[in-house]
């Protein structure tokens, strides 16, 4: 894309006739950028929905209702005889033996888990079929082909990791750190980590493909370059804090740590509860001890809030930053505030389905806006940056 430079820096005037390559041209055919970008954005929305549906499945205790796994399964029981057969099979596993339910309740939780698996398998086809077509039509450049293939492999691995996680809840006996048969908290963390990574890996390319703004004005003066570099580093640190906080949330869900210490700001009247180090060896407290897990999640949230506040203050004070970066910094701060509010309300209500779902939904909003902020502060191409440095 033609980069027309029309700004003056100091006493030197830039050459208006220079051209700089559009980095997006290294990803896709320029004339097909909107089609490929739209497809990737749709896939990103699908992953977003999958994470939310997975959280709802967890909150409704539906994840262990389907005790077998098939790579592709688009059918469920269609008559009473088939439902009775599936229900009899479910009765053989620990969840039913710990807390028996009737067949009507079984149908409801089965449908939630079935919807989760159906959505995951459909998302696989939504990614793979257009990817194969675009690759055959050469709309996607070779270097980007490898990146997309890696994303597809990561997504396919999610299905296998998901079943590996479910299997842990079908075994006897249950782990000592769980009050009832549930999936392993360690395997739940393994599932969430690549799930979040997949969500944001697939969101990065569309943000570049759809970004048609020119680079002029991006580095107006030397002071702005320094601000952008500093702000980019600060926001990246904030993003790391958010990722770690989400990992603590997976541990919270894995052992139902939100069901205890349902007071705020203190934990049942204490800043640090007495039971925080009751597990041995010590490292197990970080994954199996309700007190330690909730303590870590609370304090990770406070650190994230403090850093998001700093980033928003930095954006407010330095008006020379790009406008969209400032707005995104304020959006991150707003979503972090709402996240803190929904987290407190969920805790006080012992993480009911509705409050837990809202809290998880907003966590993805925090991650998404934070990613967009990092992207808005990306460095210009090396060619452009080397040229512009001589004038500032």
Q: pLDDT per residue over 324-339, tens digit each?
A: 888 988 999 999 999 9
Instruction: Retrieve residue 23's tokens.
Output: 């980095």
Rg from Cα positions in the chain:
24
Work out the average pLDDT over 184-212. 69
Work out the average pLDDT over 261-286. 92
CA distance 193 to 146: 21
Please tell me the predicted confidence (pLDDT) of residue 292: 93
Please tell me the predicted confidence (pLDDT) of residue 276: 92
* Percentage of the residues of the chain whose pLDDT score is greater than 90: 34
| Low-confidence winner among 166-180, 226-240, 309-323 (lowest mean pLDDT) | 226-240
CA distance 312 to 314: 5
Please tell me the predicted confidence (pLDDT) of residue 109: 95
Residue 263 pLDDT exceeds 60:
yes
CA distance 233 to 39: 30
Structural element, H or E, at residue 195: helix 185-209
Residue 340 pLDDT exceeds 70:
yes
End-to-end CA distance of the chain: 24
Please tell me the predicted confidence (pLDDT) of residue 198: 64
Residue 122 pLDDT exceeds 90:
yes
Please tell me the predicted confidence (pLDDT) of residue 12: 46
| Low-confidence winner among 149-158, 165-174, 193-202 (lowest mean pLDDT) | 193-202
Q: For 42-57, what is each residue's pLDDT tens digit?
A: 998 898 898 889 889 9
> Band of the pLDDT at 4, cuts 50, 70, 90?
very low
User: Residue 291, exposed/middle/buried by CB under 10 A (0-12, 13-18, 19+)?
Assistant: buried
Please tell me the predicted confidence (pLDDT) of residue 39: 92
> Band of the pLDDT at 100, cuts 50, 70, 90?
very high
Residue 7 pLDDT exceeds 50:
no
Please tell me the predicted confidence (pLDDT) of residue 325: 81
Work out the average pLDDT over 14-31. 62
> Band of the pLDDT at 108, cuts 50, 70, 90?
very high
Please tell me the predicted confidence (pLDDT) of residue 186: 87
Contact call for residues 233 and 285 (beta carbons, < 8 A): no
Q: For 23-32, what is each residue's pLDDT tens digit?
A: 566 778 888 8
* Percentage of the residues of the chain whose pLDDT score is greater than 70: 75
Angle between helices 185-209 and 353-376 in degrees, nearest 10: 40
CA distance 314 to 333: 12
> Band of the pLDDT at 348, cuts 50, 70, 90?
very high
Mean pLDDT, the chain, rounded, equals: 80
């Amino acid at each position: 894309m033609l980069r027309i430079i029309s700004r003056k820096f100091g006493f030197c005037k830039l050459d208006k006739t220079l051209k700089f390559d559009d980095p997006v041209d290294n990803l896709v055919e320029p004339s097909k950028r909107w089609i490929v970008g739209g497809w990737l954005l749709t896939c990103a929305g699908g992953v977003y929905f999958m994470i939310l549906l997975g959280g709802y499945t967890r909150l409704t205790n539906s994840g262990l209702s389907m005790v077998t796994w098939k790579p592709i399964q688009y059918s469920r029981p269609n008559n009473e005889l088939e439902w009775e057969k599936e229900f009899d099979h479910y009765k053989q596993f620990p969840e039913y033996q710990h807390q028996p339910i009737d067949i009507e309740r079984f149908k409801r939780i089965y449908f939630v888990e079935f919807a989760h698996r159906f959505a995951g398998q459909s998302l696989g086809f939504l990614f793979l079929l257009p990817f194969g077509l675009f690759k055959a039509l050469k709309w996607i450049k070779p270097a980007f082909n490898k990146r997309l293939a890696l994303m597809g492999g990561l997504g396919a691995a999610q299905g296998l990791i998901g079943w590996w996680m479910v299997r842990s809840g079908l075994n006897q006996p249950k782990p000592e750190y769980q009050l009832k048969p549930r999936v392993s908290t360690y395997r739940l963390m393994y599932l969430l980590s690549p799930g979040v990574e997949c969500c944001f890996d697939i969101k990065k390319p569309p943000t570049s493909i759809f970004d048609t703004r020119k680079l002029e004005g991006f580095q107006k003066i030397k002071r702005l370059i320094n601000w952008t570099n500093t702000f980019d580093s600060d926001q990246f640190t904030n993003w790391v804090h958010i990722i770690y906080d989400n990992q603590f949330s997976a541990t919270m869900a894995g052992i139902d740590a939100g069901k205890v210490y349902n007071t705020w700001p203190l934990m049942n009247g204490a800043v640090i509860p007495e039971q925080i180090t009751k597990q041995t060896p010590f490292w197990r407290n970080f994954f199996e001890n309700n007190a330690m897990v909730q303590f870590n999640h609370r304090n990770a949230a406070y650190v994230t809030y403090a850093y998001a506040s700093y980033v928003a203050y930095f954006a407010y004070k330095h008006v020379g930053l790009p406008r969209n970066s400032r707005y995104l910094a304020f959006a991150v701060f707003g979503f972090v505030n709402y996240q803190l509010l929904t987290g407190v309300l969920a805790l006080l209500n012992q993480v009911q389905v509705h409050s837990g779902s809202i809290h998880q939904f907003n966590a993805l909003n925090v991650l998404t806006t934070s990613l967009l902020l990092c992207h808005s502060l990306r460095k210009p191409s090396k060619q452009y940056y080397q040229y512009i440095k001589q004038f500032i």
